[in-house]
Amino acid sequence: MADQVVGDGTPTGCTSAAVVRAVRRGGVIRFACGPDPVTIVMQQTAEVLNTSERVVIDGGGLVTLSGGGKRRILRQDTCDETLIWTTDHCDDQATPRLVIKNITLRDGYASSSDLADGSGGAVSVRGGRLRIVNADFVDNRCTATGPDVGGAAVRVLDQSRDRPVVVRRSTFTGGVCSNGGALSSIGVSWRIVDSTFTDNRAIGRGANPAQAGTPGGGSGGAIYADGNTFHIRLMGSTIVGNSAKEGGGAVFFVSNDRTGTLSVDSSVLERNPSLGFENFPGIFFLGRGRPTFTDSVVR
């Protein structure tokens, strides 16, 4: 699949339409917008076609994609026939392999009572694979109430062969959603390395299942994860100053069949208030045994 270049060497050549076209074509996408930082305000959500084997969006450290506070920035869904349904096992499709790197995604917005449409303010991924490297997520939003919606920055459902989403050297700041002020997933594992989460908030009310008389939500100030067998590993990362109206100001982790594991290595988790409930500082955990903490500060 041929590489794509967005832009003609000037900021005016870097448009929303050009980004949308490049993402649909797939391959490695780079930007030629001039020598200075540039912000591209998306007028339409960029969508990955399921016929793409690999889509690498590389901002070169100079590009910001903005949802303008009106729309999601990027979407991949292997079970959406409008994006070309390529297999009858869409939830476990090996491709597309989506990589987001050296870029800022900000002011993404998704709002709906529908689980998919209301989650993933900046990025929504179902199926294939996802990797995030050296990316910054700033001030993204998703639906404010509801027990299952989540992921102001990133929402993931399903990954091929249950492999983890990898996040490296990335930051998540100022995200707000019912659950998962930064990340949210169902039945998905994460490997988060050398990354930082600050000032993200889960603002729903009533938890999950929703308490009587409430809309539900409010868990996972930074990270919300549930499902059955999945694993989260935090390594060399910082989660500070996030909050949840219900459970897990830093991390909400519920493995329904109690097979999932949470490990925290060489990381700092502090000042992440859980206003409703927690069983470790800033963490609500139901899984296999107890979380493991190695060379970490959790308070």
| pLDDT tens per residue across span 234-249 | 999 999 999 999 999 9
In a domain, 17, yes or no: no
In a domain, 159, yes or no: yes
How much is the average pLDDT of 159-166?
Answer: 94
In a domain, 102, yes or no: yes
Please report, for residues 146, 188, 228, 246, 291, the alpha-carbon distance to residue 210 in angstroms, rounded to integers and kept in the order given.
8, 22, 19, 11, 25
User: Whole domain around residue 170: which residue ranges?
Assistant: 43-298
DSSP string, 108-167: -EE--SSTTTTS-SSEEEESSEEEEEEEEEES-EE-SS-SS---SSEEEE--GGGPPEEE
| pLDDT tens per residue across span 203-229 | 999 999 999 999 999 999 999 999 999
How much is the average pLDDT of 85-108?
Answer: 91
- Residue 86 predicted with pLDDT over 90: no
What confidence tier does 1 reach under pLDDT thresholds 50, 70, 90?
low
3-state DSSP call for residue 17? helix
3-state DSSP call for residue 90? helix
Confidence (pTM): 0.96
- Residue 293 predicted with pLDDT over 90: yes
In a domain, 23, yes or no: no
In a domain, 152, yes or no: yes
Structure tokens at 27: 């391959």
- Residue 2 predicted with pLDDT over 70: no
Contact at 8 Å (CB) between 97 and 112? no
Question: Which of 85-89, 109-113, 182-186 has the lowest average pLDDT?
Answer: 85-89
Question: Which of 105-114, 230-239, 242-251, 287-296 has the lowest average pLDDT?
Answer: 105-114
Give, as one character, the DSSP assignment of residue 276: S
In a domain, 12, yes or no: no
Tally of structural domains, the chain: 1
What confidence tier does 115 reach under pLDDT thresholds 50, 70, 90?
confident
- Residue 201 predicted with pLDDT over 90: yes
Give, as one character, the DSSP assignment of residue 12: G
